[in-house]
Chain A
Amino acid sequence: MDRLALLAAVQAAEPAAAVDNAPQWPEASVPLARFRALAQKLHDDPAFGFDYPLSMTAVDWLADNRITCVYHLYSMAHRHTLVLKCDLDRATPSIPTVSDLWRGCEWFEREVFDLFGVAFEEHPDLRRIMLTDDWVGYPLRKDYKDSRIAGKPY
């Protein structure tokens, strides 16, 4: 599917999504309530064929008081890419897991949980992955302060 057809198909699959023909790859921003349903369609529908979890991460928009989860999905069959985004409330960020659709997302989500403090509902094994279990705070959040670091640590 070329990018415009892909955007139209995503829009048809989820009318609530805001699609954007971004310079590099097509993007779709979806409300939290519709996120899981759209992810399921993108994975299951052979016309989309998104079977490969290219990347999954989050961006902390401190000024806007939101955390955006960013999923880069790739299709081995069709060789197309879609950037799927979902905005979360920064105070209690929580989003359904997609680790049952893309198994690679299990560790991606654990990393985002560890470093951003985003909870993934129904994740099979939601523990910190990089830091120790008793670590306080989420280091990739923009307002993270560590008493051992005063400004730039080196």
Chain B
Amino acid sequence: MPMNQTPQSKDALKTEEYWINMGPQHPSTHGVLRLVMKLDGETVLQIVPHLGYIHRSIERMCEWDTYPQLIHFTDRMDYLSAMMTNWAYVQSVEKSLGVVVPERAEYIRVMVAELNRLSSHTMWFGAYCMDLGAATAFFYGFREREMVVDLFEALCGQRLTYNYMRIGGVAKDLTEDFVPRVKAICETIKRAVDEYKALVSGNVIFQQRTKGIGILTPEAAISYGCSGPVLRGSGVKFDLRKDEPYSVYPRLDFDVPTGAAGDCWDRYQVRIEEMLQSVRILEQCINQLPGGAVQADVKAVRPAKGEYYARLETARGDMGVYFVSQGAAKPYRMKFRTACFNNLACLPEIGVGWKVADVVSILGSLDVVIPDIDR
């Protein structure tokens, strides 16, 4: 532009809307998710998510196998909280059979679930900060996650897809050094959360990238069927561990952190606080851990004719397992209701009107795991 010309006002400029692809290979989508976005300059006018890039038809595969053979499918959905997706499935089958799980196994399940929640949230913390350009925090998150993952590797031989739960109990008893290592993890997490807060929460740039961005109202969150930290970030105090209690959670004392504004910052805060609550649960479990068997005596797994549904709070929210039995060794129909599917559904609404970089922030704050959506 020549020096003697004044710049035109934005209104006088001729602008044109255009479509771009974000994904399916894009670092901030954390997997193969494709968002087609209509833009006006940098402003997002419309978002159309395209799912199914890793659809494996797990529900159909479940119709081909017997109930005990299906456990390993479930940890390939939400692989970051595989202990809990395993658990959701075995819980539904136990309900159908009326199996009473030994008390020690219930405590072990709660412990590994809360450890898994810690590993999931620490990884999310690292990845979310990375999305927003804070590369250092990524290593902080992974440092703590590594302790949990190492512990799981000693426990069941796997670092990600555990396949540890069994119908009526768990695969094997705890290793001898399990409890001391959990204690060490608890101490580390308490210290680490303080570090996270000092490093990231107080950072002005981080706050500007999250506060007031991507507001999800409580009404919309409920209507979309959102759950977990996404729902609680919008101020809805709903946690299945408290509100539809299962296992030994009623005996444990913990709080359900909630947000107020429903923006990215609140979803971030809820997860940070949840880590400390998980530590509280773990410390109580260590004190209450009873002895005894870890596996109930389960003979033939043939649920009576009927329909069964089990709900469980994973790190991402409400995981539901619904199956229809005809009294056979294989399910007639198996349906997994996964948290991320509904949590992502609100993105086309809350992402509109923001800049492209804010969509990255909003998507990260929803903490979606793509195989959990695609199944």
Contacts and interface: CB of A to CB of B under 8 A. Distances in A.
Interface of A: 22-25, 51-55, 57, 59-60, 70, 72, 76, 79, 83, 102-104, 106-107, 115, 128-132, 139-140, 152
A24 B311 CA distance: 12
Contacts of B224: 53, 103-104
Interface stretch (B78-86, B99-107, B329-337): B329-337
26 contacts: A23-B306, A25-B309, A52-B225, A53-B342, A54-B320, A54-B337, A55-B337, A57-B335, A57-B337, A59-B332, A60-B333, A102-B223, A102-B225, A103-B346, A104-B224, A104-B345, A107-B345, A115-B59, A129-B51, A130-B52, A130-B375, A131-B52, A131-B55, A140-B57, A140-B59, A140-B60
B322 A76 contact: no
A104 B223 contact: yes
Nearest to B243: A79
B374 interface: yes
B64 interface: yes
Q: How large is the interface on B (under 10, 10 to 19, 20 to 34, 35 or more residues)?
A: 35 or more
B272 interface: no
Contacts of B320: 54-55, 72
A152 B63 CA distance: 10
A53 B225 contact: yes
Interface of B: 51-52, 55, 57, 59-60, 64, 95, 220, 222-226, 236, 238, 243-244, 306-309, 311, 318, 320, 322, 324, 332-333, 335, 337, 341-342, 345-346, 349, 374-375
Nearest to B218: A76
Given A103-B220, A104-B226, 4 more contacts: A54-B318, A103-B224, A104-B223, A130-B375
Given A72-B309, A129-B52, A131-B52, A59 B333 contact: yes
Nearest to B337: A55
Contact of B322 (A23, A57, A102, A104): A57
A91 B52 CA distance: 26
Nearest to B64: A152
A104 B374 CA distance: 16
Given A24-B307, A52-B222, A59 B324 contact: yes
A60 B223 CA distance: 27
B223 A103 contact: yes
A100 to B, nearest CB: 10
Contacts of B309: 24-25, 55, 72
A138 B236 CA distance: 37
Given A24-B307, A55-B335, A130 B60 contact: no
B322 A55 contact: yes
Max count, chain A CB within 10 A of own CB: residue among B306, B333, B341: B333
A72 B318 CA distance: 13
Top 5 nearest A-B pairs (CB, nearest first) are: A104-B225, A130-B52, A55-B337, A130-B55, A53-B225
Contacts of B244: 79
Contacts of B51: 129-130
Contact of B308 (A24, A60, A107, A128): A24
A9 B300 CA distance: 40
A72 B322 contact: yes
Contacts of A132: 52
A47 to B, nearest CB: 17
A57 B337 CA distance: 9
B371 to A, nearest CB: 12
A23 to B, nearest CB: 7
A139 B346 CA distance: 27
A79 B70 CA distance: 30
Given A130-B51, A140-B59, A106 B335 contact: no
A129 B33 CA distance: 12
A59 B333 CA distance: 7
A130 to B, nearest CB: 4
A70 B60 CA distance: 17
Contacts of B324: 59
A130 B243 contact: no
